[in-house]
Structure 1
Amino acid sequence: MSESFVDLGKVDAPSGVMVLGMAGWIDQWRELGLTLPERARAVAAAGGGHFREWLCEAVAVPVAADRALPVRASTSASPFDGEPAIATLEVGLGLVWPESRDRRVPIRLGDLPVDRCGMVVGDAAALDAWTGMDDEPADGLADVSYWGRYKDDAHEQFGGEHIGRFGGDGPRGWLDLPVAEAATRAAELTAWCDRLHGQGLMVSVEKHTDDHRFRRAGWQHPLHVGVIEVGGCQVLGIEWDQGDHSMRHRGERVAGQVYPVTLEVDEAGEMVMRWAIPPYGFDDEVE
């Protein structure tokens, strides 16, 4: 039975090199010697492959630099809540499959774990500008959200809009505040709860780093997928459901939870990169 795919969006890679990497570590490559673009270019020049240092991992491949590249996915039911979760991620590379290679035999590039913080697909050079959770936002803005037992009391006292999520109401809070104002508002909420209740209210301040922006872009998507601009390019990010990650991918590489990345040929004779995550089987549990 053939897989059924859904379109997730498009990315562009004017440098001619595309990366599938772990979102939680993209900004750390620059701290480890060679930059992400330098490493990715070298790997792509050899036809593509996996590269890793410390906790940072990625796969790089050569792509057509003059067009948008489609990203799509097939799904399987999550063992956590039964909702659709990505089973195969596929990216069109815009390049013709080489005549010298057997179309029936995938080219193995390596394997990748599912990062608890999400995955990113995009131009290698653009991703060198990625801002992580500890960086400062380029626009100077942040989002404040709160939830918990006393959320209704807090809303009556402080206000705040419903920040919607796909399939649920989401927390309450305020979007696009100056960072200093966001910090002040969060401090007021926390102090109020400490004074009246002691606990029962969670408060979060998320600066508009790329790490946060890609998750925000996917708030309304059933697969937690969003496209943002980074370094002048369209980059696609996937936030994994935390319950699903805990059930299917916990331990990541240390626990052997890694999944193969291959180059294959599509119906039009062009190359696609596929990252295949087998469906979860409860019979596979290790006692």
Structure 2
Amino acid sequence: MGESATDLGFVAAPSGVLVLGMGGWIDFWQKTDKPLSARATEAARAGGGHIRDHLAEAVAVAAAADRPLPVRATSRPGPFYGRPTIAVLEVGLGLPWTGTVDVAIGDLPVDRCGMVLGDARALDSFTGSGDEAGNGLADLSYWGLHARAACEVFGGTPIGRAYDGGPRGWQDLPLAHAQELAHRLEAWIEDHAHGRGLMVAVDAHTDHHLARRAGRDHPLLAGSVEVAGCAVLGIDWDQGDHSMRHRGQRAYGQVYPVTLTGDASGRAVLRWTIPPYEGANGELHPQG
């Protein structure tokens, strides 16, 4: 099987600045001395560019403020598990392209917590995994060796893709109830198997969690969430593929080029390219 193209939907950039960044770090910018939108606007005015603070990284470009921006991905089978992985991510920016060659604006690692694509100003209010849920709700999931036995006692339904051994649980619970039920599950596994063989997670309804939840059943784990009135796209990453290929990120040179280019209609496109996996011997890994 070779490469295939998939439409991932649309995002909006009413501020006129679009950001592609590491999903696990988007809320980090709120804690710095200059918000993400200010840094992104500076980069966009300079023709697009890479921004970084500590481990948080993103690229920012100018985009049309008055229309939806289409997002498309070319995928290929992953080199380790055969699941589709992104080879090229493209965003139509809705602006005229006057260049004659592609323009390199930086590079990005693949974040273990996924990537986020959206309006710079909207992302100033993006809530991450450690933030409070805006709606007071949470999802509770559990999995592991003793999940079947736990289900007989507590109930719960499959969450996400249905497969043997996959997580079960409940969605859209009041946060306090989810936490209380998690404590009961943890107490039960302590009595049942000395605390081993069952993992329990409570995920508050942050923007980060809801974006990942929206993409659970998508082949490329892509899902949309509304942030500050704007459609923002979250792209999760297969954890097996990340741990085998992208682990270490920038510190180990696992970064991939981001360019500005033009399409056949003369419109500007943001492109992030992840080349085929190169094995330990320097040869390209077969892609199916």
What range is the shorter-chain TM-score in? over 0.9
Q: Which runs of 5+ in 2 are unaligned?
A: 284-288
Contact residue 210 and residue 230 of structure 1 kept, 8 A: yes
Equivalenced residues, count: 280
170, 177, 180: which one pairs with 1:174? 170
Contact residue 3 and residue 76 of structure 2 kept, 8 A: no
How far apart, CA to CA, are the structure 1 residues paired with 2:271 and 2:214? Answer: 23
Contact residue 129 and residue 230 of structure 1 kept, 8 A: yes
Once the two structures are superposed, the pairs formed by residues 155-174 of structure 1 within 5 Å of their partners are 155-165=151-161, 170-174=166-170
Q: Which amino acid in structure 2 is aligned with residue 131 of structure 1? A: T
How far apart, CA to CA, are the structure 1 residues paired with 2:4 and 2:259? Answer: 18
1:248 equivalent in alignment to 2:268:
no
Change over 3 Å in CA distance of 1:166–1:89 after alignment to 2: farther
How far apart, CA to CA, are the structure 2 residues paired with 1:56 and 1:197? Answer: 40
1:215 equivalent in alignment to 2:247:
no
199, 203, 226: which one pairs with 1:202? 199
> What does residue 69 of structure 1 align with?
69
Under a length normalisation based on structure 2, what TM-score does the superposition of the two structures give?
Answer: 0.94
SS at match of 1:271: strand
How far apart, CA to CA, are the structure 2 residues paired with 1:86 and 1:166? Answer: 23
How far apart, CA to CA, are the structure 2 residues paired with 1:145 and 1:4? Answer: 33
Q: Which amino acid in structure 1 is aligned with residue 150 of structure 2? A: A
Task: Give 1:76 shift.
Answer: 1.6
Contact residue 166 and residue 219 of structure 1 kept, 8 A: no
Task: Give 1:284 shift.
Answer: 2.7
Task: Give 1:81 shift.
Answer: 0.4
Contact residue 112 and residue 260 of structure 1 kept, 8 A: yes
Contact residue 121 and residue 237 of structure 1 kept, 8 A: yes
> What does residue 54 of structure 1 align with?
54
Task: Give 1:246 shift.
Answer: 1.3
Identity of aligned residues (%): 60
Task: Give 1:168 shift.
Answer: 6.8
How far apart, CA to CA, are the structure 1 residues paired with 2:249 and 2:42? Answer: 26
Residues 34-72 of structure 1, C-alpha deviation per residue, up to 9 Å, x if partnerless? 100000111111111111111111100000000000001
How far apart, CA to CA, are the structure 2 residues paired with 1:25 and 1:236? Answer: 15
> What does residue 264 of structure 2 align with?
267
Residues 56-104 of structure 1, C-alpha deviation per residue, up to 9 Å, x if partnerless? 1110000000000000101122122011100100000000112xx21xx
SS at match of 2:126: coil
177, 181, 184: which one pairs with 1:185? 181
Structure 1, 229-238 or 165-174: larger mean CA deviation: 165-174
How far apart, CA to CA, are the structure 1 residues paired with 2:132 and 2:197? Answer: 29
SS at match of 2:64: coil
SS at match of 1:88: strand
How far apart, CA to CA, are the structure 1 residues paired with 2:245 and 2:93? Answer: 28
Q: Which runs of 5+ in 1 are unaligned?
A: none
How far apart, CA to CA, are the structure 2 residues paired with 1:243 and 1:67? Answer: 36
Structure 1, 243-252 or 119-128: larger mean CA deviation: 243-252
Task: Give 1:169 shift.
Answer: 7.0
Q: Which amino acid in structure 2 is aligned with residue 106 of structure 1? A: D
How far apart, CA to CA, are the structure 1 residues paired with 2:272 and 2:250? Answer: 15
Task: Give 1:3 shift.
Answer: 6.4
Q: Which amino acid in structure 2 is aligned with residue 230 of structure 1? A: V
Change over 3 Å in CA distance of 1:220–1:211 after alignment to 2: same
> What does residue 21 of structure 1 align with?
21
Q: Which amino acid in structure 1 is aligned with residue 276 of structure 2? A: P
How far apart, CA to CA, are the structure 2 residues paired with 1:264 and 1:31? Answer: 33
Q: Which amino acid in structure 1 is aligned with residue 188 of structure 2? A: W
76, 98, 119: which one pairs with 1:123? 119
Contact residue 138 and residue 202 of structure 2 kept, 8 A: yes
Ranges of 4+ aligned residues in structure 1 off by more than 6 Å: 166-169
Task: Give 1:275 shift.
Answer: 0.2
Change over 3 Å in CA distance of 1:167–1:271 after alignment to 2: farther
> What does residue 151 of structure 1 align with?
147
Task: Give 1:167 shift.
Answer: 6.9
